[in-house]
Structure 1
Amino acid sequence: MSSAIGINPGQLASQYTQIERSAKDQQLSTKSSLFSNQIKAFDSLKSNLSNFFDDLQTNLKDTSSLFANTATVSNSSALAVTASGTAASGEYDVFVEQLAQAHQVALSFDPAKALTTDGELSIDLAGSAFSVDFASLGADASLTDVANAINSHVDNSGVKASVVRSGTETFLTLTSAESGAANQVGVSFTEGTDANGSDITNAITNKQDLTLAQDAIVKLGANSALTITSSSNKLDTVIDGVTIDLTQAQSLGDQPIHISITQDQESSKENIQSFVDKFNSLTNGITSNQYLKRDNMAAGLARSLRNDFQGTFEGKTLFSVGIEFDRSGNLKIDNKKLEEAMATNPEQLTSMLTGENGLLSKLETRVEPFTKSYGLMTNKKQSLQASLNIVNRQQKDHEVSMEQVYQRYLSQFTQMQQTIAQLESTMGQFGS
């Protein structure tokens, strides 16, 4: 059997090439994996930072989202009360004298008679007026056409027109979109040459007020010491942080309604605990990640976030109100201290956390540079991506180089195979 037959140039070339390339393959693969995993880690961190930053802006810094109050009323049929976290605890007595109403008038028409073909109907709402020209409606216009023209008028600032039918009468009703004494609906008509215009004039002269334009009137205090008027039945500026929705007027002789605003400590503690959990999730996501905890920027951010809890806020430390770090570096709540702070000085606690110079403002300032489109995190990722691109190019160049090595080995082993075959052929001739 020929020795040349036992030589496989392609296999030998592959084996020798693999020996030559393995060290650099491993080196480049390790670098590529490192940069890829770092990019993924920083993508995740940026997402977590953005979520935390958004939460700071939209929820946590909002006192009403972090702290909770409970409102109770002695008569829920006349009003409903909600209290945000900014409300101070207190007791109030109110008497609902009347509800706010939207003005509504009705004009009566004989459905058997045709409408006028000219003239202008003018409608005024709280000093804002517009007109409907009957000549533009067409000869066979109906009250529905008039209502549609009113509702679609470009200068209509809030009057809703509709047609109501009752027996032998048809009514055009005009209703203010807003309640309150100031939102009176006024209506007048300038007749044209059509004699039927007098029907419009008569309808206006004999118009009916279905509901009067009036403000809500509420007496505040056990002796009705203060009178509060409102164009709306929603009172959200009378007591800071408290919204009162009026639903029913009381009768003369009824007892005032008692409103009690108290602090909801359990809900407030749950909200603060939610913040603590989110903070720990963010910082632990850095310190427990092998690619982030070794990075100076990421590790420095985690340290800075924790350092932001140091110092005093409103003259007190967070530790004194029950917000502290345990030995492992996790934020935790001392419920006893927190409850005492809520009970003794809730306003101070609120300022310490959500005030202009409070903790959450410090954290917001710390995190914001990392969340911007062209911020620190973006720069970091771009740097890592540039390094990964270099490694990718090195891998491609290495492939080209190794292909040349393979071809060299293939040529050498092919030449060896041919040489052995020639030698064996020559030796065979001598032996024959």
Structure 2
Amino acid sequence: MASFAVPGLGGSGLDIPSMLSQLRVAENQKLNPYLQKQSSFNGQVSSWGKISSSLDAIKSNMEKLQDEGFNGVSVGDNKAFKATAGKGAIPNSYSMVVKQLAKSHKIGTEPQTSNDKELGGSETNRKVSITLGDGKPMDVDLKKDETSLTQIAKKINEKNGDVTAEVMSAGGGKFKLVVTSKKTGSDGEITVNVDGDSTLAEVLNFDPKGSSKMTEITAAQNALIEIDGEEVERSSNTIADAITGITLELREVSEVVAEGPPKEYKSETLSVTADTSQVKTLIEEFVKNYNAFLNLSASVSAYTAPDKNADPTQPNTGNGALFGDGTLRRLTSQMKSTAVGNYGEASELYQSLATLGITVKFDDVNPGEERTGTIGLLSIDSKKLDEALKNNPKEVEALFLGKDGADGLKGRMEDVFKIYLGDSDSTPKTEGAITTAVKGLKEQESRIAKQITRVEMRIEDSLKRSEKEFLRLDKAMTEMNSLSQSLQAALLGLMKE
């Protein structure tokens, strides 16, 4: 009797690949408890990351309230300069005159008959040192075949330093090398010195205080302004240290009203006025960020009743990743108590957010119904807040930022942030409760990952042993089938005789 091989089957007819596949599925069930723990740890780490980011948003908002909100100022527009207000700027007005703009130093060689002719001597190597003001020299090494105007410009620009070089037409078919400082004023005054090649030095050497064959195209010039009659000189057209908290960007020289001497200029008024327009926006942002934190906290700690048909021995996947976490529960409680706390020591007029019109909102619930949503969300009475900011901005500021050593909302919030986010200003840095929790979770996840690897290795070893057993069984059954077929053939032969 002939036998036929069936694809995917052994000689005995056993479907070994299918048997191994089913066995793998069964064996992999051993991984489920470990995988569930690993997923749980990763979910908790992810949730703590979101909580941390949410707290950072509130913290950043509080810092903006102090830096840009209650201390906010606005500046008027001017023709000769642009002023930008930053931290430390206070309301005031100044008489401003721009007498002179800062200019970059620009020098050029004498006209040369060619831009690619070598200008150096017979020396193999030479060094060109370019210095700006009192700064550190930038050294450019040139080989014997790198002393043409084009090559010199290329090598200077390759340094990507504080000067640029270009070859320009000098008329009459001649060329010159022009070197321009990227810095303005005396800080950008250029000095060039060639070492190791006296021939090239005759072309390139330049000393702003001496004589040389290189010529000055544009002299280095400092900016010169006058603030309330006092002259201020700087090397840049951007001046940030003349008026506290104000950055000046000079645009053009002020209008000349009399040639003099001395010249007389038309002054402009720099007006710095108090601006609390940002305060309400930042307070609204605080409420939005605070409510977002509460919603997130409720989401990641949520409890969901298990399905009645669910396996009671398995974890409830409907719960939030941080359900039952004591650290999160304490954090949320402290944030709520801080937000609705009393700050009478800082402000007698507005002792709490509620007195500003920022109150805890509760949904209307009919008798017998359960309350839904996140408890403790804040709501703003915009009209009441507007009146407070308009009539008593300093008292509103005291409530948020504190006064005379008494903490406001920001101070107490910062105490909570230090506990849970840590203190980056301390030495050594103090880790927060969230970082500590995440570190512990990651350590547990790492141990679980190693356990998963070991179980996977045991499963693979078990499958290999099973495969060998199946192959031995297949071989034995194949031999038995072959023997059976031989016996049947022998019996048929005897019967025919």
Q: Do both share a fold (TM > 0.5)?
A: yes
**1:339 corresponds to 2:373:** no
From 107, 117, 120, the equivalent of 1:116 is 120
Secondary structure in 2 matching 1:100 = coil
**1:148 corresponds to 2:154:** yes
CA distance in 2, matches of 1:303, 1:342: 30
From 240, 247, 251, the equivalent of 1:243 is 247
* Structure 2 partner of 1:274: 285
TM-score, length of structure 1 as denominator length: 0.65
* Structure 1 partner of 2:328: 298
> How much does 1:140 deviate?
7.0
> How much does 1:110 deviate?
1.8
* Structure 2 partner of 1:368: 421
String of CA shifts for 1:296-341, please: whole Å, max 9, x gaps.
4332221111223435498334538837542542234451465147
Which structure shows the higher helix fraction?
A: 1
CA distance in 1, matches of 2:446, 2:144: 71
**1:330 corresponds to 2:335:** no
String of CA shifts for 1:140-183, please: whole Å, max 9, x gaps.
74101112333445xx8623222222323322122222222233
* Structure 2 partner of 1:209: 216
**1:219 corresponds to 2:226:** yes
Structure 1 residues without counterparts, runs of 5 or longer: 1-28, 394-432
Counterpart of 1:214, as a letter, is Q
> How much does 1:367 deviate?
3.1
The aligned runs of 1:77-156 (5 Å cut-off) are 77-84=79-86, 86-112=88-114, 115-117=119-121, 118=123, 121-127=128-134, 128-129=136-137, 136-139=142-145, 141-152=147-158
The aligned runs of 1:329-408 (5 Å cut-off) are 329-333=376-380, 335-336=385-386, 338-340=388-390, 343-344=393-394, 348=398, 351-352=401-402, 358-368=411-421, 374-377=435-438, 379=440
* Structure 1 partner of 2:267: 256
From 318, 334, 346, the equivalent of 1:315 is 346
Counterpart of 1:211, as a letter, is T
The 1:80/1:385 distance shift into structure 2, 3 A limit, reads same
The 1:50/1:227 distance shift into structure 2, 3 A limit, reads same
Counterpart of 1:315, as a letter, is A
CA distance in 2, matches of 1:202, 1:98: 25
> How much does 1:287 deviate?
3.9
CA distance in 2, matches of 1:324, 1:140: 73
* Structure 2 partner of 1:71: 74
1:88–1:261: 8 Å Cα contact kept in structure 2? yes
1:95–1:220: 8 Å Cα contact kept in structure 2? yes
The aligned runs of 1:36-51 (5 Å cut-off) are 42=44, 45-51=47-53
The 1:125/1:378 distance shift into structure 2, 3 A limit, reads closer
> How much does 1:276 deviate?
1.4
CA distance in 1, matches of 2:100, 2:111: 32
* Structure 2 partner of 1:233: 237
2:105–2:180: 8 Å Cα contact kept in structure 1? yes
Structure 2 residues without counterparts, runs of 5 or longer: 1-31, 258-264, 304-318, 363-375, 423-430, 456-497
From 180, 183, 196, the equivalent of 1:175 is 180
Secondary structure in 1 matching 2:144 = coil
CA distance in 1, matches of 2:201, 2:416: 71
> How much does 1:44 deviate?
5.8
* Structure 1 partner of 2:309: none
> How much does 1:267 deviate?
2.8
CA distance in 1, matches of 2:103, 2:198: 38
CA distance in 1, matches of 2:181, 2:118: 27
> How much does 1:279 deviate?
0.9
String of CA shifts for 1:367-399, please: whole Å, max 9, x gaps.
316977752255468889999x9xxx9xxxxxx
How many residues were matched structurally? 352
CA distance in 1, matches of 2:358, 2:206: 78
CA distance in 1, matches of 2:108, 2:352: 64
**Greater Cα offset, 300-309 or 185-194:** 185-194
Secondary structure in 2 matching 1:376 = helix
Counterpart of 1:181, as a letter, is S
> How much does 1:206 deviate?
4.2
2:97–2:266: 8 Å Cα contact kept in structure 1? yes
Counterpart of 2:389, as a letter, is E
Secondary structure in 1 matching 2:225 = strand
Counterpart of 1:209, as a letter, is E
**What is the Cα-based RMSD across aligned positions, in Å?**
4.5
CA distance in 2, matches of 1:228, 1:299: 58
TM-score, length of structure 2 as denominator length: 0.57
1:191–1:198: 8 Å Cα contact kept in structure 2? no
> How much does 1:65 deviate?
5.6
More RCO (CA 8 Å, sep 6+): 1
> How much does 1:205 deviate?
2.4
The 1:82/1:122 distance shift into structure 2, 3 A limit, reads closer
The 1:109/1:349 distance shift into structure 2, 3 A limit, reads farther
